Amino acid sequence: MPPRTYRLSGLVVRFVLLSFAAVALAVLRPAKQANARAQETRRRRSGVRRIAISLSFATLFFAGASFSAGAGDMMVQLVEGEAQTAVADQSQEAAASEESTCESTKRSDWDAEDVSQSCAEESAPDADAEPAAGDSAAAPEAEAAAPETSAPDVTAPATEPASSPEAEAPAAAALVEQTAHEVAAESGSSGRSAAPSLKTAVKTQARRAHPRSRAKGNDGAPPVLRNSTRKHSLAGKADPEVSEPYTAATIWLHRQMPDPTPASKRLTQRFANQLVFAAHRHKVDWALMLGVLRARGYRGSVPATKVGLNRLATNLVKNGARKDQWSAVLALEGRTAFADRTVALARYHRAVGLKALVRGLEWAKPMLAKRTLRDKRITIYGGGRNDLFRGKIDVRVIVLIRYLAEAHGQVTVSCLLSGHGLFSRPGVISHHIYGLAVDIAALGGVSIYGHQQPGSVTEKAVRDMLLLPAEVRPVQVISLLGLGGPSFPLANHDDHIHAGF
């Protein structure tokens, strides 16, 4: 039987009416006709007065009791209302978690019919689960018989491994149906409470049967990693490539560079033999002879004949090439620019060697790297030596280092690949990262720092780089001096010369 509900206003009205009735009974009593009898009545209480007084006290007692009971019921209702509110909140949270569990179960490899049936039972309204008053005895039997008629055979063993989703689905369905049978049989006489308990048991068993349907992170243990709620924003950090006036963003597209000496620029083996024979016969440097031919514009694989090589060697000897190569070449052509160009090409030829000019620089790269590491004229820091040993440096850089050693007698390399930053400036990847750049800190034992004025060792080194052949000439020559072409000054290059390809 549901508990009666009391209102405070109704209790107060009843209490007042009963009090008035008691007072009326006590006051409105029959008048005494005689004083003597009144005195006797005072001495001896009559039965009517006793009954009236007893009724008054009884009325007051029951009124107070009813008031106390009503107030207690109201307090109980308030407490129960708060408890029901808390239970409703918990049930809503549980329903939300079960809804998410159902969605995750739908995405798994379960059987579609079992999952849709369990989700339909969860979302069905209570009106469908509550039978009519006359059919209260037949409803539990119908609910108990429904799974039996629609459930498949769950006693057959699974043929697939238990770890696969196809094998876990029949087992989970079997456990769910078995639980439904048991709960329906136990709650056959409970009437309205059968459907909710059946649904709760089915959902609980479904979560236990399939471990993947549980929500992750609900094991009670504190999380190992916590998601950061702080917003990472680059607002306020201006990009100089875009925000600075009169500038635009640049992108450096790197590609694998080909051999700087293709077949058209390589010497033939026959011509190389004739060149060496003529130079040895007249005791002239073969590199200087080849430099004169290249400076005159002979670019082919055979720039001269055998007769032409002997005539050139004879003229160089007459002009004193054994003692002073630059003066001999100047006397040969009469132009200082031609003499500078010829001497620079001769140094380049000696730096790479005749075999490299015949077979190509890429073929000679391992040999050139070993010679550079053993060369006492070249000083390289530990990380740069490791870069050279592992083949991370382009052959053009190796040739440039050896060429400067030929021109100045000593080279100090301060940076190759290791130890350099990724960006040379915001948004532009440095050439050092690809092994296509070198920083020179000293030449001929003279530091670059403090020696970048006109006529200094820095100016001589930059001019020597600009005289190299086009295939091995740097595209970036950065110092405090700008001599035109690929050379330009930057203020942060006061202690080294940067050469990049």
Confidence (pLDDT) at 96? 65
Calpha distance 386→388 (Å, rounded) = 5
For 348-390, the pLDDT digits (tens) are 999 999 999 999 999 999 999 999 999 999 999 999 999 999 9
Rounded to 5 degrees, φ, ψ at 383 are: -65, -40
pLDDT of residue 280: 94
Helix, strand, or coil here: 110?
coil
- pLDDT of 239-290, one tens digit each? 555 566 666 666 656 667 788 888 888 999 999 999 999 999 999 999 999 9
Of the chain, the percentage scoring pLDDT greater than 90 comes to 41
**What is the distance between the alpha carbons of residues 129 and 109, in angstroms, rounded to a whole number?**
29
Q: How far apart are CA 311 and CA 313, in angstroms?
A: 6
Which of these, 415, 484, 489, 486, lies nearest to 452 by C-alpha position? 489
Q: With cut-offs at 50, 70 and 90, classify the pLDDT of residue 6.
A: low
Is the whole model's pTM more than 0.85, yes or no?
Answer: no
- Tell me: pLDDT of 94 over 90: no
Q: Which residue has the tokens 């009517």?
A: 48
Query: Do 141 and 131 form a contact (C-beta atoms < 8 A)?
Result: no
What pLDDT was estimated at residue 152? 41
d(C-alpha 364, C-alpha 375), whole Å: 16
Task: Name the most confidently modeled range: 34-48, 219-233, 408-422.
Answer: 408-422
Q: Please answer whether residues 283 and 251 qualify as being in contact, where contact means their C-beta atoms are separated by less than 8 angstroms.
A: no
Does residue 38 contact residue 44 with C-beta atoms inside 8 Å? no
